[in-house]
Structure 1
Amino acid sequence: MSVYSMTGFASAVASAPDHVGENTDDDGASSASRRHASGAVGAELRSVNSRFLDLSFKLADEFRALEPALRDLLTASFKRGKIELRMQPQRAADAGWPQPQPEQLHTLARLEGTVQNWLPKAGPLSVNEVLNWCRAAAPSVKLEEAALEAARQAIVALAEAREREGARLVGILKDKLLALKALAEQAQPLVPQAVQRQQERFVQKYQEALQAVGGNVTPEVAQERALQEAAAYALRIDVDEELQRLKAHLDEIGRLLKKGGEVGKRLDFLIQELHREANTLGAKAAALELTQISVDMKVLIEQMREQVQNLE
């Protein structure tokens, strides 16, 4: 199953079905049919990340009544993201001018002749009057179905765009996972080494203290005390549990990325857990190398957080 991003853009244009009309001859009888020019609707969808599904609509006035149907289409396709739908009718450069048909002009000429026979002083029709009459006689184009079809096409295109972006983000996250696992492997042997070094320091200090007090404490007692201090120190700096939990979280993130679907919220929680373990690792760090590993981990985890917040 794919992983989807919440960011994307898509647009689509759909045309209304051609309207079929009928010619009318001089006697008012219907004759051969003709098609009137159809209208078109353009739809744009913009999507960014959001905790929930947040829909907004910027529609032309003739499409306001479609908002409930458009909302149903969007909620059926997306679960998270701030999505804005813009919709406008598409108008050609000559859309405001009617296209007079021969039968219309023939009818106008016949009517004009009839009027002038009865009213000889009546003036001839102007071009503007003819065009206005043709515009009034033209059937209105219904764009509702075209608007819904444009929305459906844009939704499909947006889902594809979000899928492509999601695949890119998954690739980035997998690279970060590999880097974090490599850092965890580097940190694993550093703790025993730090304990060994600190144990040697404790023994040396107790030997120095023994010499300073003039031998009132036997070397065996001093060494035993030093080993006790080293053991307590080892417990304080032991990060094996943190490293094991961190590896478990990394494995779970890898599993979710492979499974796909709506994983954004789950991944966001795991990123918080990773950050907590990396902070603990830094707090317990007994060596400069461990401190640097903790810092590198937190940088990678923060980069992962930025990407995960874009996933659905």
Structure 2
Amino acid sequence: MAVSMTGFGEATLETASLSVRVEIRSLNNRFLKVHVSLPEGYTAYIPQVEQLIRQRLRRGTVYVYVYLKRVSEPPRYRIHEGVLEAYKYQLESLRARFGFSEPVRLDMLLSLPGVIEPVDPAEAEGLLEWPVLEGVISSALEQLDRSRRQEGAAMAASLRELCRQGLEVLSRIEAQAPQTVTSYRQRFEERFRSLLATANLQPAEVDILREVAAFADRVDIGEEIVRLRGHFTRFLTILDSPDTSGRQLDFLAQEMHREATTIGAKAADEVIAHCVVEMKTIIERIRELVQNLE
């Protein structure tokens, strides 16, 4: 299946204290390059984000943006329940032992050392755990994958149509090729006989055949036609395979262009020359499209 390198995906997660939004954009690139933008305090997650992207994508320039918004303020103080419980136990024991009538109150316990302490700002900022962020990024990647596949399917349809047009032009070239030799023989024989007539000489049929045979050998494009048709066939096979490779398709498009150029250089025929121009236009369009496939 053809997959485009261009796409967009986003995902959002709301928690009691945070709103997390992830945007992922991908553009064309021969290789895979990942750019990650995380909020201040979360840059330690960059290697994990890059690894997650590389597990899912093979080519393209990928931009990952993570936006963090706090729904509520982070806690500024922490109550150590274990310390509070220890104080309460000791005070209750003393109260029972010495017969104090005054009960152990909460405000008394909270005022004791070590029960309440301020939260380190850096620690307060670390509320977004990696498993949570990983889940949001994975959801955005799924949407990115859907958009890339949708665009890839549209591009594959265009490529099939271009291949159909290319094969149709190739059939016209193949049909015209024999006419090239026939036309040359007629022109050559007329000129040859005319020149010999001025010198009162009789043309030898073998000389005409020898020249026409040499010309036919020079302009023979049979092998190029076979190879070019084979490239189109192979191209369509890869395009319809489950694991379409943009690199392979780009290589085949280059080979198509090479064969079309050779045909244009060898075939001394106006009709074929026009067909070659049309063929190269089609192949150039194919190359533009496949360079956007993963």
TM-score, normalised by the number of residues in structure 1: 0.75
Q: Report the residue type matching 2:63 in the other structure.
A: E
Matched, 1:70 2:69: no
Aligned twin of 1:88: 67
Q: Secondary structure at the match of 1:235?
A: helix
Aligned twin of 2:277: 295
Q: Report the residue type matching 2:280 in the other structure.
A: K
Out of 227, 232, 239, the position equivalent to 2:214 is: 232
Q: Report the residue type matching 1:15 in the other structure.
A: E
Deviations, residues 171-215 of structure 1 (Å, cap 9, x unaligned): 111010000000000011211111111111121112111211023
Q: In 2, Cα distance between the equivalents of 1:277 and 1:232? A: 22
Aligned twin of 1:129: none
Matched, 1:277 2:259: yes
Aligned twin of 1:115: none
Post-superposition offset of 1:240 = 1.0
Aligned twin of 1:169: 155
Out of 181, 191, 212, the position equivalent to 2:198 is: 212
Deviations, residues 89-144 of structure 1 (Å, cap 9, x unaligned): 0345xx5699xxxxxxxxxxx97xxxxxxxxxxxxxxxxxxxxx9xx9xx878222
**Is 2:41–2:126's contact at 8 Å kept on the other side of the alignment?**
no
Post-superposition offset of 1:50 = 0.8
Aligned twin of 1:31: none
Question: Sequence identity of aligned pairs in percent?
Answer: 33
Paired residues in the alignment total 250
Q: In 2, Cα distance between the equivalents of 1:174 and 1:9? A: 25
Aligned twin of 2:6: 7
Q: In 1, Cα distance between the equivalents of 2:252 and 2:35? A: 31
**Is 1:15–1:146's contact at 8 Å kept on the other side of the alignment?**
no
Post-superposition offset of 1:285 = 2.3
Q: Secondary structure at the match of 2:42?
A: helix
**Is 1:43–1:86's contact at 8 Å kept on the other side of the alignment?**
yes
**Is 1:43–1:151's contact at 8 Å kept on the other side of the alignment?**
yes
Q: In 1, Cα distance between the equivalents of 2:182 and 2:65? A: 67
Out of 27, 33, 36, the position equivalent to 1:48 is: 27
Deviations, residues 155-183 of structure 1 (Å, cap 9, x unaligned): 11111111111111111110100000000
Pairs within 5 Å for 1:192-203:
192-203=178-189
**Is 2:17–2:70's contact at 8 Å kept on the other side of the alignment?**
no
**Is 2:17–2:73's contact at 8 Å kept on the other side of the alignment?**
no
**Is 1:187–1:293's contact at 8 Å kept on the other side of the alignment?**
yes
RMSD of aligned Cα (Å): 2.2
Q: Report the residue type matching 1:280 in the other structure.
A: T
Post-superposition offset of 1:248 = 0.2
**Is 1:12–1:44's contact at 8 Å kept on the other side of the alignment?**
yes
Aligned twin of 2:235: 253
**Is 2:17–2:74's contact at 8 Å kept on the other side of the alignment?**
no
Q: In 2, Cα distance between the equivalents of 1:206 and 1:288? A: 22
Is there any run of 5+ residues in structure 1 with no aligned partner, and where? Answer: 17-36, 99-109, 112-132
Post-superposition offset of 1:247 = 0.1
Deviations, residues 221-270 of structure 1 (Å, cap 9, x unaligned): 1x321221111111111111111100000000000011131411111110
Aligned twin of 1:30: none
Q: In 2, Cα distance between the equivalents of 1:257 and 1:70? A: 31
**Is 1:45–1:154's contact at 8 Å kept on the other side of the alignment?**
yes
Q: In 1, Cα distance between the equivalents of 2:252 and 2:273? A: 22
